[in-house]
Structure 1
């Protein structure tokens, strides 16, 4: 995040959340999947800044434009996302929206089939981090544009 952007947030908060994001992403060990998860949460939360940022990072990680363009409809685009990615995206949606007040058992169990305990903990940490970033950026009305990796 640029210096101008961090001025909109408390430096300590930004540093702590950056550390959580980095640890979760590293522990997950799959940069492409991490970006898909962060983009999907940002779509659901209508965070234009985070969408701009993570679309840029995803492209830099080699994620195909077709996968990025159809991510909002991943459930219908079955051929573009493998079962592991689909489980991660379902968990992302369940944790982001929380319309039922909890993550459905079936969603959690499907994710647990595709991720070991440590990976699942990092995935949940990543989803938590991006949701926090989304809320901070939307709450502070940070506009998209200007992000450079």
Structure 2
């Protein structure tokens, strides 16, 4: 496997970073934001982003049981709140898009737990991490390079 060193043009990287920062800030829940980006990164097999966001999640107080069971969140009903479960379902639907769209019931469930602004920021965060995952996987950036 060849690591491709140049990540992105600075202007593109700044724009992607700005989207990530704005989406997280607007969501207003750093722990939930990290659960969302970790789940998308699991689905996208992005080791660099997993390594980085697991460290950030721990810093924001996300418990080990949630981190351990995140890949099986649907079966771990007692570990995740309804709000977290709605965000994770939306994360999976947006990340995978197997049917070419996000199912109405997934979107509506998320809309029950997030106001309009929060929902827009949540979707922005999901889009942002999917962009970052694709860059890091395409460039084959290995885990371990993140320093807080």
TM-score under structure 1 length normalisation: 0.95
Q: Following TM superposition, where does structure 1 have runs of at least 4 consecutive aligned residues deviating by more than 3 angstroms?
A: none
Q: Distance in 1 between matches of 2:8 and 2:136?
A: 9
Cα distance, 1:8 vs. partner?
A: 2.3
Residues 1:74 and 2:73 aligned together: yes
Aligned length: 145
Q: Against the structure 1 CA distance between its residues 55 and 122, is the aligned structure 2 distance closer, same or farther, given a 3 Å change threshold?
A: same
Structure 2 counterpart of 1:26: 25
* Superposition RMSD in Å: 1.2
What are the residue-to-residue correspondences of 1:99-118 with 2, within 5 Å?
A: 99-118=98-117
TM-score under structure 2 length normalisation: 0.95
Cα distance, 1:54 vs. partner?
A: 0.3
Give ranges in structure 1 of 5+ residues lacking alignment: none
Contact 2:48 2:145 in 1 (8 A): no
Structure 2 counterpart of 1:61: 60
**2:78 counterpart SS class:** helix
Contact 1:6 1:14 in 2 (8 A): no
Q: Against the structure 1 CA distance between its residues 118 and 6, is the aligned structure 2 distance closer, same or farther, given a 3 Å change threshold?
A: farther
